[in-house]
Amino acid sequence: MVVARGRTGRKPTPQERGSAAKERRRQLGPPTWSGAFSRGLLAATALLLFSVLILHAKVGSAIFLFVFALLLYVPATYYFDLWLYRRRVAKEREGKR
């Protein structure tokens, strides 16, 4: 039995590579507030569970910490994602020149 290693097909043409980059750009669109809220909610919930189960904090103080963390995490994740998105777009534009 003969096993071929590595790439066995033809190399993609520049036109095919360009369409793959466009498809990837469409998938990785600009950040949204709903996405930032989802990630912030997940992180704040993890912090709530950690503070109640591991640190044995009172539920009232843990809920206050949850709300405070949610108010911090949502805008922080949105603007961090926006920064990453702008950086990625700038690199793609620079590569085209």
pLDDT at position 23: 63
- Estimate to the nearest angstrom the gap between the alpha carbon of 58 and the chain centroid: 32
Tell me the CA distances in angstroms from 69 to 43, 54, 74, one per residue in order: 8, 17, 8
pLDDT at position 30: 93
pLDDT at position 19: 65
pLDDT at position 39: 96
pLDDT means per 10 residues in the chain (97 residues)?
A: 71 72 68 96 97 93 96 97 94 82
What is the torsion angle, in degrees rounded to the nearest 10, for the CA atoms of residue 34, residue 37, residue 38 and residue 43?
Answer: 160
Tokens of 57: 């904090």
pLDDT at position 14: 77
Look at residues 46, 55, 51 and name the one whose alpha carbon lies nearest to residue 73: 46
